[in-house]
Amino acid sequence: MERIVFLDSDTLIADLHLPRFAHQWESHPATSPHEVASRLADATIAITNKVALRRETLERLPKLKMIAVAATGTDHVDLAFCKERGIVVSNIRNYSVHTVPEHVFMMLLALRRNLFAFHSDIRGGEWQKARQFCLFTHPVQDLYGSTLGIFGHGAIGKAVAGIARAFGMQVLIAEHKGVSDVRPGYTEFNEVLERSDAITLHLPLNDATRNMIGEAEFQRMKQSVLLINTARGGLVDEKALHHALTSGRIAGAGFDVLSKEPPLEGNPLLEIDLPNFILTPHIAWSGRSAMQTLADQLIDNIESFVAGNPVNRVA
């Protein structure tokens, strides 16, 4: 009989239909690092959204056969160790292809049209004192005719590109950083930085992408550019972003992610109180229909593993 332990069930708001095979189910709203090993001591299947499963913990879990990640990103799981030990790791695919792109364009539209700056002006009485019917205190830019650079062309990146083209935007798909052999349909990394009016990130976090956008990359961007990140906080050097925003090096940014979440010890981006910076608490993925799709796929992954046909494997 399989023993399944969900380490952080409060990260998922959905109707979770339990597996149809014989099993024991144990669910914890949250799990701190020092509790992981004891809670998984007899588990054969672990479910984690963001609870880290590193080598030093996994070495203490000889019964563990599968890790079902309740997310797409797997940077919190030691995949190399899992491959060594034969632990199957499955993740969730394509569940957020509508909700994340909608969040991207919510941010793009708000920043491009200076929504929060105008809202602040009204609260400050500027419109009420105006001598005419409208207020021209901030520039209003359209998405139509502008250029969107997309870094990461998986399911979400493709969905973002489709919406962008519907708005009448030109889309550039960035090639990997440092690659000289550019694939058909892609544009060289630095050229995308230089030509884009807005940039959106849809990449996993790994050694190749960590701090992919830093001071040098900001210097290549237009001063009028907007930077959107709904992927992983570690893709961008946060100190460099803080400087780029507060110095006016870029026009604005919308972030749904930080390098450490929750930001218990603070973060330089939390200090920014500007109408051209939007920070949301890692919720782009959390549309209710998206979370239900995630929950259903999570159980499908587990049932497929137990049936001897693992799907959505990353290890």
Mean pLDDT of the chain: 97
pLDDT of residue 118: 98
Question: Where residue 43 falls among pLDDT bands split at 50, 70, 90?
Answer: very high
Catalytic residues: 232, 261, 282
Question: Where residue 310 falls among pLDDT bands split at 50, 70, 90?
Answer: very high
Cα–Cα distance for residue pair 130/175, rounded to 1 Å? 48
Three-class SS state of 52: coil
pLDDT of residue 71: 96
Cα–Cα distance for residue pair 220/239, rounded to 1 Å? 17
Separation in Å, CA 30 to CA 45, 52, 257: 17, 12, 20
Structure tokens at 292: 């239900």
Cα 306 to chain centroid, rounded: 29
284: which residues sit within 8 A by CB, 6+ positions away? 96, 99, 100, 103, 104, 230, 256
pLDDT in tens, 109-125: 999 999 999 999 999 99
With a cut of 90, say whether residue 219 has pLDDT above it.
yes
pLDDT of residue 296: 98
With a cut of 90, say whether residue 72 has pLDDT above it.
yes
What pTM does this model have?
0.94
Cα–Cα distance for residue pair 298/290, rounded to 1 Å? 12
Cα–Cα distance for residue pair 297/75, rounded to 1 Å? 19
Residue at 158: amino acid letter: K
pLDDT in tens, 86-102: 999 999 999 999 999 99
Instruction: Decide the pairing of beta strands 147-151 and 252-255.
Output: unpaired
Q: In the chain, pLDDT over 70 holds for what percent of residues?
A: 100
Set out the domains of the chain in order of their start, with CATH numbers: 2-95+289-306 (3.40.50.720), 99-279 (3.40.50.720)
pLDDT of residue 229: 98
pLDDT of residue 30: 98
253-282 as b/e: b if 16+ CB within 10 A: bbbbbbbeeeeeeebbbeebeebbbbbeeb
pLDDT in tens, 260-301: 999 999 999 999 999 999 999 999 999 999 999 999 999 999
Question: Where residue 180 falls among pLDDT bands split at 50, 70, 90?
Answer: confident
Over residues 242-246, mean pLDDT: 98
pLDDT of residue 230: 98
Phi then psi dihedrals of residue 172, to 5 deg: -115, 125
Three-class SS state of 39: helix
Phi then psi dihedrals of residue 184, to 5 deg: -55, 135
Over residues 222-234, mean pLDDT: 97
pLDDT in tens, 13-28: 999 999 999 999 999 9
Asked whether the beta carbons of 229 and 202 are under 8 A apart, the reply is: no
Q: In the chain, pLDDT over 90 holds for what percent of residues?
A: 100
